[in-house]
A = this chain, B = another copy of it.
Amino acid sequence: MKGSQVTIKDIAKQLGVSASTVSRALKDHPDISPETKKAVTELAEELNYQPNSIALSLRQKKSNTIGVIIPELVHFFFSTVINGIEDVAYAAGYSVIVSQSNESYEREVMDTKALFNNRVDGILVSVSRETENYDHFQSLVNRGIPMVFYDRICKAINCSQVIIDDFDAGYQSTKHLIDQGYKRIAHISGPSSLILSKERMDGYKKALTDHGLKIDETLILEEKEAKDEKVAKELTEQLLSLSLPPDAIFANNDIAAVGAMLVIKEKGLKIPEDIGVVGFSNWRFTSLTEPALTTVDQPGFKMGQEAAKLLIKEIEAKEGEIVEPETVVLKTDLIIRKSSVRK
């Protein structure tokens, strides 16, 4: 912010007019004479005048910035979401500030406050794995800050949200395994604190019962802590050493899927012949290196776009106008390769 910038005053002085004239000329106000307009715009061009967005923010009480709280940037899915957000935000003239909670409740609370202090016009949130208390969000909503939840939503707060149809994803994944003739389908689920974990599991259960299979609770294991290669492998070990082991696994995430796959290989079993695996892939190249896995593809870019659109709509609603919270539901795709299907 160094290197003293050209201001409206500088232009005004050089042209011997007032600052307001320059201001008006620059925004093509109808009152200003064509000559003045021309002189102003030309000099502005010449001096490479750039409006000071901070002064504008102060004046208009609007920062033209949106804040994003994201669990972790390193996941393909989430970084893709950011791309979608930027796509829409930039086009609408907003800057984007991204804060990572790193799946920590404490960090999330700090980030929320920091964004608020930075006077963002609105916030996009995907809650951390740890979060079970939502006061930090509610208090901002109460103050009238527009907020939209994406992916990891928060039912307790009445805001717009963009979600993936996780029930359907769970259902389709499980059905895909059933269709190939697998009978004992296990599920490695995500932490029960996340709504989407429950949705996926419900989809899984519904698919089983719809197709005349029983729900066997011994085949459902929860990955409680953070996603971790070791944990995923242990859970798979546990499943495979059951007296009645599963013949297929529906994994809640990429690591769980890959962990399962590694353990299965170690045991000398083959995918998909001996055991079928379907997993969510937050991770870019799962299907590139692991053609035997069927993966659930999540529409991250689209999700980012939709969330940003909703937020900007709320931000730009006229004062007093009430915006009814909306819910956008996006479908996943099942990426099936020949080599991931059992005949």
Residues on A lying within 8 angstroms of B by beta carbon are 1-3, 50-55, 57-58, 61-63, 73-74, 76, 79-80, 82-83, 86, 90, 95-100, 114, 116-121, 142-146, 229, 255, 258, 262, 283-285, 288-290
User: Closest CB of chain B to A6's CB: distance in Å?
Assistant: 10
User: Closest CB of chain B to A334's CB: distance in Å?
Assistant: 20
The residue from B57, B61, B117, B258 contacting A289, defined by CB atoms under 8 A apart: B258
Q: List 20 A-B contacts (CB under 8 A).
A: A1-B62, A1-B119, A1-B120, A54-B58, A58-B58, A73-B82, A73-B83, A74-B76, A74-B79, A74-B80, A82-B98, A83-B100, A86-B100, A90-B114, A96-B98, A98-B98, A258-B288, A258-B289, A262-B288, A289-B289
How far apart sit A1 and B121, CA to CA, in the bound complex (Å)? 5
Indicate if the CB atoms of A117 and B1 lie closer than 8 Å: no
Q: Give how many copies assemble into the complex.
A: 2
8 nearest CB pairs, A to B? A3-B143, A3-B144, A2-B144, A73-B79, A74-B79, A54-B57, A1-B119, A1-B121
Indicate if the CB atoms of A61 and B288 lie closer than 8 Å: no
Residues of B within 8 A of A255 (CB): 285
Residues of B within 8 A of A3 (CB): 142-145
Known pairs A97-B97, A98-B98 / 19 extra A-B pairs, C-beta < 8 Å: A1-B57, A1-B119, A1-B121, A2-B146, A3-B145, A50-B116, A52-B58, A53-B117, A54-B54, A55-B58, A79-B79, A82-B98, A82-B100, A90-B114, A96-B97, A255-B285, A258-B288, A262-B288, A289-B290
Indicate if the CB atoms of B145 and A118 lie closer than 8 Å: no
Interface of A is mostly: mixed
How far apart sit A124 and B258, CA to CA, in the bound complex (Å)? 35
Residues of B within 8 A of A121 (CB): 1
Indicate if the CB atoms of B119 and A61 lie closer than 8 Å: no
How far apart sit A82 and B73, CA to CA, in the bound complex (Å)? 8
How far apart sit A53 and B58, CA to CA, in the bound complex (Å)? 9
How far apart sit A52 and B114, CA to CA, in the bound complex (Å)? 12
Residues of B within 8 A of A120 (CB): 1
Residues of B within 8 A of A82 (CB): 73, 98, 100
Residues of B within 8 A of A54 (CB): 54, 57-58, 63, 119
Residues of B within 8 A of A97 (CB): 95-97
Indicate if the CB atoms of A143 and B100 lie closer than 8 Å: no
Residues of B within 8 A of A86 (CB): 99-100
How far apart sit A318 and B58, CA to CA, in the bound complex (Å)? 27
Residues of B within 8 A of A114 (CB): 90, 95
How far apart sit A83 and B117, CA to CA, in the bound complex (Å)? 21
How far apart sit A61 and B120, CA to CA, in the bound complex (Å)? 19
